[in-house]
Amino acid sequence: MNRGKTLKAALSQTLLTLVAVVMIFPFFWMITTALKPAAEVFSVPPRIVGSELRWHNFIDAWNYLPFSRFIVNGLVVSGIGTAIVLISSSLAAFAFSRLHWRGRDGVFLIYLGTLMIPQEVLVVPMFMIMRELGWINSYAGLIMPWAFTAFGTFLLRQFFMTLPRELEEAATIDGAGIWTVYWRILLPLTRPAMGTLAVFTFIGYWNSFLWPLLIVSDVNMATVPLGLNMFLGQTGNQWNLLMAAATISVIPSALLVIALQKYLVKGIALSGLGGR
């Protein structure tokens, strides 16, 4: 029996290691390519590490385009967008999970059904709305169309429904109103789910390409994905500089995941549990 358990554990560890290597290798290749001389990027046979480590590729990539401006725009859009999503999703999730009102489940089903609509279907009418509002080439145009998401509401609703009703009943007996129950009793308990949603939302805004491509025509309002696209067009075959810029662009998302990793794991585990 012990041998079987040991063999199973060894096999699981081996498979997890292989999966980790497969997932990490593209990032490793990106970093090593960013440090290569331009002539060695597509050398035959392929070389993982170049003949020299050219750290100044990162400086060249940073200075070739207004990359600092792209980073700032991305942080503003992703940060504000994430904050709005957390607020709106938590309020909607509280209403759908803890409040009783006529048609609640039907409305939630319709709301959840919006997840089946591809983004590509929405961009044209959304662009027309942004144009009428005068939000072309603005932070509002980049943030607001995707700041109210059914995914975030569903994720937090599932977490809210795992919390015991006795918490809010005790608070209500002590004279707490609905807002107090939401803000001071239940919301602090949703940190794992909120952390998970924050990571997903931030990365979604940070990596968004199609919508910024349509809504932004001013270089000063471009986000990081647009900046990388322009970088590729202007530098031609200098893939080492492009990989250097891509490496820089990964840092904010990586830092966020590292900072919230304990909430991320716990939130994914608990948010999918069934409600009452």
CATH, domain range 67-223+249-271: 1.10.3720.10
Q: Which pLDDT score, from 0 to 100, does residue 1 have? A: 52
Q: Which two tokens stand for residue 196?
A: 């998970």
Task: Give per-residue pLDDT as tens, 1-36.
Answer: 577 778 888 888 999 899 989 999 989 989 999 998
248, 62 Cβ separation under 8 angstroms? yes
Amino acid at 140: A
DSSP class per residue in 216-270: ---GGG--HHHHHHHHHHHHTT-HHHHHHHHHHHHHHHHHHHHHTHHHHHHHHHH
Q: What is the pLDDT of residue 45?
A: 81
CA distances from 219 to 97, 130, 201, 224 (A): 43, 18, 24, 11
Lowest mean per-residue pLDDT among 61-75, 216-230, 256-270? 256-270
Lowest-pLDDT range, 41-50, 101-110, 220-229, 244-253? Answer: 41-50
Rounded alpha-carbon distances, angstroms, from residue 139 to 76, 152, 222: 8, 21, 10
State mean pLDDT over 196-217. Answer: 92
Is the peptide bond between 188 and the residue preceding it cis, with omega within 30 degrees of 0? no
Query: How far is the C-alpha of 119 from the C-alpha of 111, rounded, in Å?
Result: 15
Using 50, 70 and 90 to split pLDDT, how confident is the model at 75? Answer: very high
Examine the pLDDT at 275 and tell me if it is beyond 60: no
Distance CA 69, CA 219 (A): 9
Task: Specify the pLDDT at position 149.
Answer: 84
Q: How many other C-beta atoms lie within 10 A of the C-beta of residue 247? A: 18
pTM of the entire structure? 0.85
Quickly state the pLDDT bin for 276 (edges 50, 70, 90): very low
Start-to-end CA distance of the chain, whole Å, equals 39
> How confident is the prediction for the chain on average, in pLDDT?
87
Question: Is the pLDDT confidence value at 273 over 50?
Answer: no
Chain segment 128-182, per-residue pLDDT in tens: 999 999 999 999 999 999 898 899 999 899 889 888 888 888 888 888 888 988 8
215-245 tens-digit pLDDT: 999 989 999 999 888 877 654 567 888 889 9
- Residue 266 predicted with pLDDT over 70: no
pLDDT exceeds 80 at position 188: yes
User: What pLDDT is recorded for position 267?
Assistant: 60
pLDDT of residue 247: 92
Domain ranges of the chain: 67-223+249-271
* pLDDT, greater one: 275 or 249: 249
Separation of alpha carbons 260 and 256, rounded Å:
6
- In this prediction, residues 186-197 reach a mean pLDDT of 89
> Residues 116, 182: contact at Cβ < 8 Å?
no
Q: Do 192 and 156 contact (CB within 8 A), yes or no? A: no
The residue written with tokens 């709305």 in the block is: 129
Please check the confidence at residue 206 and state whether its pLDDT lies above 80.
yes
